[in-house]
Each structure stands twice: as structure tokens, then as C-alpha cells.
Copies of this chain bind each other. A is one copy, B any other.
Amino acid sequence: MIDKEFLMIPGPTPLPSRVIAAMTHPMINHRGPLFKKIFTETREILKKLINPDGDIFLIPSSGTGAMELAVQNFTNRGDKVIVVDTGFFGDRFYKMNLSFGRNAVKLKISYGRAVKPEEVVNFIKEQKDAKALFITHNETSTAVANPLKEIVDAVRRVSDMFIIVDAVSSMGILKIDMKEWKIDVVVGASQKGLMSPPGIGIVGVSKRALDFALGKDDSYYFGIKNLKAKGDIGQPFTTFPVSTLFGLREALNILLEEGFEKTYERHRIYKKLVRESLKEIGLKFVANDEDSSPCVTAVFSPEGINGEEIVRVSREKYNVEIASIQGDLKGKAFRIGHMGYINSNDLLVTVASVESTLYSLGYKFDLGSGVKKFINLRLNSGV
């Protein structure tokens, strides 16, 4: 097949051509006026997107860097912190807290389901002196979306601890309203729902969390104090990934033009299209319909077929890049990303590739019934 990759992994995601074009801008001085304009516009659009009452910081880092910033700035060494672990990225928040000497206690949820608000509340009641709650909004490793608003609402009835959200794979896809919902910190990254290349970490901060961080002095590269001093004059603290910023600003313009609510709705439909089509050929999912994510779908491999093999054949034979899965489920499942600059045609191609791949690998079913289901479901779905 002529090489033309369909990138259907849970980030990085395909880039709109407008984003690619924006990144071809000649290099500019990251301390000059044009950079300041782009940097400021980008932060302003992100404020509209997640609505913090404090500030938005952009950092030259991956999403993990933004997570680490949150650990360093919004908790203190020795603090008890609660980490909800619904998968690989929840566990990462936990380990990171331990690395920085936080007294992290973990609420471990069996992988493949979302945490329930009452589970969080009960755990908080057990861990009375905890200073912060770390929670993953969308857990890409198991393709589960935690019901963030419901969780935060429930927590706020019993605690005013800092709530720190890993929204790396949900930002732009699942609604977040920091001020309205009373969330203190949200961390994200450029390469998922925001349809840009990797390289920029994003941190939204509430006013009270900002005050807390400004009173601390035990961070440097990720230090809010350093970032804010420069941020207030429209500059980055250190040298910034300039081309990526040109891309991110353009991607955010595209999201603004579409309208955030429409983007959220579109992804909810994607989830349904993918799941219902693959159910048609007898596949089972790691997460149930309710808990499952609008950003990514984790599918169990049929018995006797290795998930890594499915990923390889889909790539080599049908030019569709889907993702394997780590940890306990390694080899037993695979993942389809459907976030960002994706439309239903991309999903159709992916469902077709999964069907063809499984058929090639010996799974017995009525080949083509998945894509047939797909186009029937899509007909008037608006996507």
C-alpha cells in the first residue's frame, strides 16, 4: 500500500494543515514582540478553554513535565496527598509524588473502570489530613474517563483540599471548568486534543493555588515563581519551542472556530461509532460503555491473537497506526485513539483496518459487517 499513515493513537494526533503551515513561520526571537503576541494569545484561548481564576502557564515540556510542575508547586515535602490510580498515568502521579518526598497514599481502582465519586469521598474521610487530591481525568492506558465534575462536586462537599487534575489527554475533548467546578490545578499538553505537536506543557492554576505556589521556593525549571515573573510580561521563563507555539496557537484558533461544545459532542459520537461497530464483529472492551473514554478506545484482542500483532499488521498491511497497551493488559488488548483532528472518515478507515487485520490473523467473523454497521450509524450523526 502506498504509504499514507492514518495516525490513530492516543496522541500525538494528526495535525490540521493550518497547524503545519503555521509552524513553517521563520524562527523568531523568543524575547521579541511577535513571540509575546503569540504567547499571550495562546494563554488567553486556553483560559477560555479551562477557565482558571488564577493563571495559565506554558512550559517547554511534555505532559509529564506539567504533572511534575504540579507536584512541585502545589504540595510540600512531607505533605500527605491522595492519588487516585485508575491506570498507568494515575500511578505515574503517585510515583512522582514519592520522588519528591510527598507522603502519597493511593486509591487504587481496578483497571478498566472509572472511579466513583463516593469512593473518592470515602477515601478522603479515611485520610483526613491529606492536603491534595491528584486525579487523572482521562486515563489513556485503559481508555477510561473519570467523571471529573461529579467527583469534584462530591469532594467539595467534604474537603477544600487542592484538587489537581491530569488533563493531558482530555483537554479540549472533555469539558473542564476550573472556576465553576472549583479545581485548583489542571495540567495538559499540546499533542492530544489540542491537535499540535508535542513539546508544550500547559498548567491552569486557581487563584488560591497560585498564591500557595508563589510562597514556595523549592523549584526552579518548573517553578511557578519563575514562570509567573516572566509570564506577567508576556515572556517564557526559559527558551521556548517557538515553532510548536505557532502551531498550538493556530490549533486553538481552529477549536475556537468550531466551538468547544461542538468538539466535545463530536468526540462523544466518535466513541459510540467505534464501539458499536466493533461490537458488531464480536469484540469486547476494557471499559464499559459508561466509563469508557471519548478520546480513546481499548479493545480486547480476540482469544489467541496478540494485541501487539494486531498493531503491527494494521500498520504494515493497512497503513493505520493504532496503539498497543502497557502493563497487565500488554498483548491482551489494543487501543484506538480518536482525539483531535479526526473525522468519521478516519474512524471508518480504522474500523476497516481492525476488521481486515483480525480477519488476516484468523479471527472468524463476517468480514465487513463492522464497516457496514459504521456507515449506518454515521449516516445522520453529523460527524
- Chain A interface residues (CB < 8 Å from chain B): 1-4, 6, 16, 20, 24, 258, 266, 318-320, 341-346, 348-349, 352-353, 355-356, 359-360, 367-369, 371-376, 378-380, 382-383
Contact = CB atoms under 8 A, between A and B. Distances in A.
B349 A1 contact: no
A349 B6 CA distance: 12
22 contacts: A1-B343, A1-B383, A2-B266, A2-B341, A3-B343, A6-B345, A318-B345, A319-B345, A320-B345, A348-B349, A348-B352, A349-B349, A352-B371, A356-B379, A360-B379, A368-B371, A368-B372, A368-B374, A368-B375, A371-B371, A371-B374, A372-B372
Copies of this chain, complex-wide, total 2
Contacts of A379: 356, 359-360, 367
A6 B349 CA distance: 12
A310 to B, nearest CB: 15
- Which residue, A373, A379, A380, A383, has most C-beta atoms of chain B within 10 A? A379
Contact of A1 (B3, B356, B372, B382): B382
Contacts of A353: 345
A339 B360 CA distance: 27
A345 B349 contact: yes
Given A24-B24, A349-B349, A344 B375 contact: no
A278 to B, nearest CB: 14
A367 B356 contact: no
A258 B2 contact: yes
Contacts of A346: 4
Contact of A352 (B1, B24, B320, B345): B345
A355 to B, nearest CB: 6
A318 B376 CA distance: 13
Given A20-B20, A368-B372, A369-B372, 4 more contacts: A319-B343, A352-B375, A367-B375, A372-B372
Contacts of A20: 20
User: Which among A24, A320, A349, A369 has the greatest number of chain B C-beta atoms within 10 A?
Assistant: A349
Residue of A342, A352, A367 contacting most chain B CB atoms (<10 Å): A352
A341 B342 CA distance: 20
Given A1-B383, A341-B2, A375 B348 contact: no
Given A352-B371, A356-B375, A375-B355, A343 B383 contact: no
A343 B24 contact: no
Contact of A367 (B4, B16, B376, B382): B376
Contacts of A373: 368
A378 B342 CA distance: 23
Contacts of A2: 258, 266, 341-343, 383
Nearest to A378: B356
A359 to B, nearest CB: 7
Given A367-B379, A372-B368, A1 B359 contact: no
A355 B343 CA distance: 17
A368 B366 CA distance: 13
A367 B380 CA distance: 13
A348 B371 CA distance: 10
